[in-house]
Amino acid sequence: MEFVYVVPREALFPTCYPQGLARFAQPEDRDLRPTMDRAEILERIRREAFFVERPYAERSPHLKQIIPYTLVVAEDDRMGPRVLLVRRLPQGGEQRLVGKLSIGIGGHINPVDCGLDGDHSASADVDVIAIGAQREIDEELFVEGELRLEAVGLINDDSNPVGAVHVGLVQVLTLAPGAGQRVAVREEEVLEGKLVTPGELRQLLDEGANFETWSRMLVEIIDELVPVPQPALP
C-alpha cells in the first residue's frame, strides 16, 4: 500500500485557508498580494507532517497531502524563456489527470524519500520535500544543464474534492541557455511534453484548454512567474 506525506490542515493553516497561489514573501515585496513566510511554512510541515495510507488521506480533508509542484523553464537567448508543458496519457497512474495539460511536475512524497518503510514521521535532519521533488523530476524528465531553483509559494484550492486534500509547494527550475541544455520527457508512454512560450500558454488558456486546476491558476499569472526579459535600451 502507498503511504503519502500529510500535514493536518489546522497546523498548516492556523488562521486562514488561502485560495490560489500564496507567494513566499521576499524582502522587496511592497504590493498587497498575500504572502507567506517560507521558513515558517516549512517548519510547520517538518514539525507536524507524517505518513498515512493514501486511501485514507484521499477521503480526509482535515489532512493536506504535500505535493512538490515544479515548473521547468528553459531560457533561450533567441526565443526567450519557454515552459515545459505536459499532457498525461491514459497509461499514467493517476486517472483523474488523464488528458489534462500541466506545467507542474510533481507528485506525492513517499517514505522512500526519507529512508522509511512505513507510516513514521520524517527525521528532522532530512529535507523530505526537496528529496521528493527531485525524485519526481528524475522519474519523469531528462533535465541537463546549468540549473537554478527558486521556491515560489504555496498553492491551495478547496473548491473541489481533489484540491481539498492536497496542497502544492510551487517552485521554478530554470535551465540557463547553453549547449548542454536539455529538457525531455523520460516516460513517453505516460507523458507527452514540449516547450512553449508564456504567450502560447496564455493562448491555450483563452481557448479553453483542459489544464489541471493548479496549472490553470499558474498560467493565469505566468508573466509573474516567468518574466520575459525586456530588450536593452539603445
Q: Return d(Cα 129, Cα 21) in angstroms, integer.
A: 18
- Judge whether 231 lies within some domain: no
C-alpha to C-alpha distances, 89 to 105, 188, 196, nearest whole angstrom = 14, 9, 19
What per-residue confidence (pLDDT) applies to 3?
94
Helix, coil or strand: residue 35: strand
- Judge whether 10 lies within some domain: yes
- Judge whether 114 lies within some domain: yes
Tell me the pLDDT band of 99, cut-offs 50, 70 and 90: confident
- pLDDT, tens only, 27-80: 555 554 557 788 899 999 989 999 999 999 999 999 999 999 999 999 988 888
Closest among 40, 55, 39 to 6, alpha carbons compared: 55
- Judge whether 202 lies within some domain: yes
53 grid coordinates: 495510507
> What is the average pLDDT across 99-113?
91
The CATH number assigned to the domain holding 155 equals 3.90.79.10
- Cβ–Cβ under 8 Å, residues 149 and 133: no
Instruction: Please enumerate in sequence order all residues whose Cβ is within 8 A of that of 234, keeping only pairs 6 or more positions apart, or say none.
Output: none
- Judge whether 87 lies within some domain: yes
Residue 60 has φ and ψ, to the nearest 5°, of: -130, 85
- Judge whether 234 lies within some domain: no
- pLDDT, tens only, 182-198: 999 988 888 899 999 99
- Judge whether 172 lies within some domain: yes
- pLDDT, tens only, 150-161: 999 999 999 989
What per-residue confidence (pLDDT) applies to 115?
66
Helices (H), the chain: 9-12, 38-48, 54-58, 128-140, 198-206, 213-219, 222-225
- Judge whether 232 lies within some domain: no
> What is the average pLDDT across 1-24?
91
Mean pLDDT of the chain: 86
Residue 79's domain spans which residues?
3-225
Give the other-Cβ count within 10 Å of 117's Cβ. 8
Q: How many domains does the chain have?
A: 1
